[in-house]
Amino acid sequence: MEIGIPLKRREKAAGWSNRASCSIQQGPPPAWPGRAVVEESRRSWEGPKPIAIVGSTGSIGTQTLDIVAENPDKFRVVALAAGSNVTLLADQVKTFKPQLVAVRNESLFSELKEALADAEHQPEIIPGEEGVIEVARHRDAVTVVTGIVGCAGLKPTVAAIEAGKDIALANKETLIAGGPFVLPLAHKHRVKILPADSEHSAIFQCIQGLPEGALRRIILTASGGAFRDWPVEKLREVKVADALKHPNWNMGKKITVDSATLFNKGLEVIEAHYLYGAEYDSIEILIHPQSIIHSMVETQDSSVLAQLGWPDMRLPILYTMSWPDRIYCSEVTWPRLDLCKLGSLTFKAPDNVKYPSMDLAYAAGRAGGTMTGVLSAANEKAVEMFIDEKISYLEIFKVVELTCDAHRNELIERPSLEEIVHYDLWARDYAAGLKLSSGLSPVPA
């Protein structure tokens, strides 16, 4: 598969000129430039740390609340926002007693109000996107957990940053699509972006205490997904049910398919660049079937530091909430890692033929600007079409490639928030409009 994505890009500002280039452009400032430095003077609250959760009824949100329930002396919930699961949201409100609640689906406002009519605690309720944004910038919150999927999470995250809230980041689009806009904003408001993804949490944990300039290489580990042991030739036969059988993790459909295609890892490469400032040539992917080492870093003197743990998303979520502290966890609910029981840890290089997503992701990352958001949005739409059995498994890669290729003449290197959202929607529409002919060759409708 020939990858031509990064050859052209358009710079949209006075004095900038159009040019063709394969080089890495000067990007936005990274969230953590190769090391993590603690600023003790930032602490500004008494008692349990006040947090807000955007996306409280999703996987990240419910696991975050499990952590709060287990550690009431360490955390308290001041605001919750959810999409449409009113029943679960009402239960969460009764349990955690937040001051403010939002339901994104405005038509469910009355239903939520009715569900809370007999509740002892009566929070303020604001419907719609306005309510979600108010939750994100709640006056008492110190950290905001962002668990909304897709570009819908961008505006609340921006609102939280502008309000000076630290971000426990579980929304990939914040950096993959929004990195060129979000990172300068975070630096302006002195906000910390703390990664809740297991791989980026591992890197973040490994760079604690590194001196300036010590980081040499980032190694992202990948399980290899459902098809790591399949021959390439057999991939033409893949059914949706096959792609949803993850060997290690219990996740939603979209991320499970992304694990099978390795698009999840390609997107994490882009996130690693934005989070830690590593050049793309210094970010590698390694297949690690056991999913015990969540990622590694190599230092300038060739030492390799790794973070290990069971495949459990609660640990990286907890660290985003507690950093720089470490919180004791009961062995009953947090089983300790037993290396003797594991016996062995194995590794192998990923196959670029089996996983063309890697070449696509690196090319999009090097192009920068709006291209990374287009890649992510096109992939999300392609996965949706695959799950709905409108395209085959292998056509996921082709849909993403053609969408990115169509965008290269419109690429904006330093986009505004509005331009980021615009091209996210454009990419989904373009991907959806590709009609597939024989031989896995999509053509524009």
Torsion 105-161-193-73 (CA) sign:
negative
Can you tell me the distance from the alpha carbon of 420 to that of 398, in angstroms, rounded to the nearest whole number? 23
94 lies in a domain? yes
Token pair for 363: 């090319």
Can you tell me the distance from the alpha carbon of 174 to that of 158, in angstroms, rounded to the nearest whole number? 9
Rg for the chain, CA atoms, rounded: 22
- Give the ranges where 147-196 is alpha helix by DSSP (H): 154-162, 173-176, 179-188
User: Is residue 171 a contact partner of residue 149, using CB atoms and an 8 Å limit?
Assistant: yes
Token pair for 133: 């944004």
- Please, which pLDDT band fits residue 42 given cuts at 50, 70 and 90? low
- Please, which pLDDT band fits residue 288 given cuts at 50, 70 and 90? very high
∠ at Cα 91 (90, 97), nearest 5°? 80
The pairing of beta strand 215-222 with beta strand 283-287: parallel
Can you tell me the distance from the alpha carbon of 106 to that of 319, in angstroms, rounded to the nearest whole number? 33
Token pair for 47: 């008692």
**What are 152-170's pLDDT values in tens digits?**
889 999 999 999 999 999 9
73 lies in a domain? yes
Can you tell me the distance from the alpha carbon of 357 to that of 367, in angstroms, rounded to the nearest whole number? 15
Torsion of CA 258, 171, 104, 183, to 10 degrees: -140
- For 184, 395, 397, 441, the CA distances from 401, given in Å and listed in that order, are 29, 10, 6, 11
| pLDDT mean over 130-145 | 97
56 lies in a domain? yes
CA 367 to chain centre: 20
Higher pLDDT pick, 182 / 149: 182
Q: What pTM, to 2 d.p., does this model score?
A: 0.89
| pLDDT mean over 309-325 | 93
Higher pLDDT pick, 3 / 37: 37
Q: In what order do the strands lie in the sheet with 75-82?
A: 124-127, 100-103, 75-82, 49-54, 143-146, 166-169, 193-195
pLDDT at position 250: 61
pLDDT at position 98: 98
344 lies in a domain? no
- Please, which pLDDT band fits residue 146 given cuts at 50, 70 and 90? very high
Helix (H) or strand (E) holding 437, with range, is: strand 434-437
Residue for token pair 């990622």: 295
| pLDDT mean over 13-18 | 26
25 lies in a domain? no
pLDDT at position 249: 59
125 lies in a domain? yes
CB under 8 A, 24+ apart: contacts of 2-7: 3/359, 3/360, 3/363, 3/401, 4/363, 4/405, 4/408, 5/360, 5/363, 5/364, 5/367, 5/371, 5/401, 5/404, 5/405, 5/408, 6/363, 6/364, 6/366, 6/367, 6/371, 6/408, 7/408
**What are 381-405's pLDDT values in tens digits?**
999 999 999 999 999 999 999 999 9
pLDDT at position 319: 96
**pLDDT exceeds 70 at position 11:** no
pLDDT at position 24: 39
pLDDT at position 21: 27
Higher pLDDT pick, 312 / 137: 137
Q: What is the DSSP string of 396-426?
A: HHHHHHHHHHHHGGG-BSS--HHHHHHHHHH
Mean pLDDT across the chain, nearest whole number?
A: 89
Q: Cis (ω within 30 of 0) for the bond into 324?
A: yes
Can you tell me the distance from the alpha carbon of 71 to that of 135, in angstroms, rounded to the nearest whole number? 22
182 lies in a domain? yes
| pLDDT mean over 363-372 | 97
Lowest-pLDDT range of 184-193, 246-255, 300-309: 246-255
Can you tell me the distance from the alpha carbon of 211 to that of 79, in angstroms, rounded to the nearest whole number? 37
Q: What is the DSSP string of 223-280?
A: --GGGTTS-GGGGGG--HHHHT--SS----HHHHHHHHHTHHHHHHHHHHHHHH---G
| pLDDT mean over 82-91 | 96
3-state SS assignment for residue 197: coil
Domain span at 123? 49-195
pLDDT at position 436: 63
188 lies in a domain? yes
**pLDDT exceeds 80 at position 64:** yes
* CATH number for position 103: 3.40.50.720
User: Is residue 375 a contact partner of residue 362, using CB atoms and an 8 Å limit?
Assistant: no
Question: Residue type at 320?
Answer: T
The pairing of beta strand 293-299 with beta strand 304-308: antiparallel
Domain count, the chain: 1
pLDDT at position 180: 94
Can you tell me the distance from the alpha carbon of 410 to that of 51, in angstroms, rounded to the nearest whole number? 39
pLDDT at position 441: 43
**pLDDT exceeds 60 at position 245:** yes
